[in-house]
């Protein structure tokens, strides 16, 4: 029986606007234990970002879903396209850390040598002290090699067959990747639909408008998910994603959930319930309802990865607001300049057209001032969010 069939006639507020009502604990359990669970690109790439133990637990939890796990074709394509970028970024992070560590230890060594010279320490004493720094450096590196994932040790330029993490992903996703149409007419129709949705800012994907040919990616993930949901009769749809962009998620206080438009489109198109959660939430739910063995350290690690995604999203939003406030300021300056010119060149007898133009400019100034002030408040709010997330990182 479909989800819609159990809800009764769609005449009440809840049934007409399901996207504004987050699922309760019983509904979440059904999503995890009965639903089609869809992986977004960033949820797959997180497998590279986890440490060894956390990765193993995450992959094991995904494997418990069996044939209810599904990967859109576009997700798999984007994952393979970005895989080496994530590997390189992790290697770059380690290299940056090593440089900072070496610099700090070099300063410590210089301080020891300077102090030893002032106090007249013997070369043997100096060597025994500096040896402690060398030992500390070696211990730090060995410990990091042990506790930090092996993703930093993967050569991004090596053959994919030499990537042990990719092999894990291939195993868990085997037989669970969707198909992509090769029909030119259907592909052209999808492109046309995407352009229409983009112009109207229909979620998801319009936040990626500046990505050129890649801007259609989120829409293809969503379209393919809709099609699979329609094919899988009787299964509600749960998407795992750390996505934070406003064309995917809606924030309501502390609650973050899918855009209501997505929930409605899934119901209207496939007659299925839809929900979206991040990797951390999935791990907690898998622990509770799938008997997955997920440690608290893995949940904490997923939370930190999610916070990094939130920080990146907040920074992008901050940049966008900064551009908007600059444009609003320019518009305000333009309106003031026009009003000033009009006042200086005012005729002795004010005609009706002059008064209309003057009143219109005065209205534009009031609107532009109000818009500028609103954007400034929003900008300050997002700056505080970035500051909090940065301190947390």
Burial 136-165 (b: 16+ CB within 10 A, else e): ebeeeeeeeeeebbebbebeeeeeeeebeb
Helix (H) or strand (E) holding 92: helix 73-119
Q: Are strands 255-258 and 249-252 parallel, antiparallel or unpaired?
A: antiparallel
Cβ neighbours, 10 Å, residue 114: 10
Query: How far separated are the first and last CA of the chain, in Å rounded?
Result: 45
Q: How far from 192 is each of 44, 77, 113, 219, CA to CA, in Å? A: 29, 21, 70, 12
pLDDT of residue 189: 92
| In contact, 246 and 207? CB cutoff 8 Å | yes
pLDDT of residue 309: 56
d(CA 224, CA 362): 50
d(CA 370, CA 375): 9
Divide the 393 residues of the chain into consecutive groups of 10 and give the mean pLDDT of each group.
Answer: 49 82 93 96 92 92 96 96 86 78 87 86 87 86 68 75 92 93 88 92 86 86 95 92 87 80 94 94 95 91 72 61 76 80 71 78 81 74 63 54
At 15, list the tokens: 């049934």
pLDDT of residue 208: 82
Instruction: Give the DSSP letter of residue 179.
Output: P
Cβ neighbours, 10 Å, residue 95: 11
pLDDT of residue 7: 46
pLDDT of residue 6: 46
Beta strands in 115-266 (DSSP E): 237-240, 249-252, 255-258
pLDDT of residue 315: 60
Nearest to 232, CA basis, from 302, 300, 178 = 178
- Helix residue spans in 247-295 (DSSP H): 260-270, 279-289
Q: What is the DSSP string of 35-66?
A: SEEEE-HHHHHHHHHS-HHHHHHHHHHHHTTG
| In contact, 38 and 270? CB cutoff 8 Å | no
d(CA 84, CA 48): 10
């Amino acid at each position: 029986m479909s989800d819609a069939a159990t809800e009764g006639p769609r005449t009440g507020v809840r049934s007409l606007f399901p996207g504004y009502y987050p699922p309760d604990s019983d509904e979440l359990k059904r999503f995890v234990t009965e639903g089609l669970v869809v992986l977004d690109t960033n949820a797959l790439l997180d497998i590279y970002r986890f440490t060894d133990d956390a990765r193993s637990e995450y992959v094991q939890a995904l494997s418990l879903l069996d044939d209810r796990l599904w990967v859109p074709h576009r997700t798999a394509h984007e994952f393979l396209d970005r895989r080496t970028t994530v590997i390189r970024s992790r290697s770059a992070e380690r290299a940056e850390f090593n440089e900072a560590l070496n610099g700090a230890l070099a300063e410590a060594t210089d301080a020891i040598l300077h102090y030893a010279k002032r106090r007249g320490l013997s070369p043997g004493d100096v060597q025994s002290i500096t040896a402690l720094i060398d030992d500390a450096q070696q211990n730090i590196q060995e410990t990091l090699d042990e506790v930090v994932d092996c993703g930093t040790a993967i050569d991004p330029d090596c053959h994919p067959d030499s990537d042990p993490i990719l092999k894990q992903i291939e195993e868990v996703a085997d037989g669970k990747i969707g198909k992509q149409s090769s029909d030119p007419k259907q592909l052209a129709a999808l492109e046309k639909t995407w352009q229409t949705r983009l112009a109207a800012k229909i979620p998801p994907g319009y936040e990626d408008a500046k990505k050129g040919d890649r801007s259609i990616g989120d829409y293809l993930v969503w379209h393919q998910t809709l099609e699979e949901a329609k094919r899988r009769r009787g299964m509600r749809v749960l998407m795992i994603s750390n996505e934070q962009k406003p064309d995917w998620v809606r924030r309501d206080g502390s609650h973050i959930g899918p855009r209501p438009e997505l929930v409605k489109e899934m119901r209207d198109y496939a007659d299925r319930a839809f929900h979206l959660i991040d990797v951390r939430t999935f791990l907690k739910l898998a622990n509770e309802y799938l008997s997955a063995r997920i440690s608290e350290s893995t949940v904490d690690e997923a939370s930190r990865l999610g916070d990094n995604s939130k920080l990146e999203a907040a920074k992008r939003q901050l940049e966008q607001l900064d551009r908007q406030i600059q444009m609003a300021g320019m518009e305000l300056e333009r309106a003031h300049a026009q009003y000033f010119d009009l006042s200086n060149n005012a005729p002795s007898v004010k005609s009706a057209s002059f008064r209309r133009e003057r009143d219109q400019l005065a209205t534009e100034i009031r609107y532009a001032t109000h818009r500028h002030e609103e954007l400034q408040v929003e900008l300050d709010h997002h700056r505080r969010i970035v500051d909090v997330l940065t301190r947390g990182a």
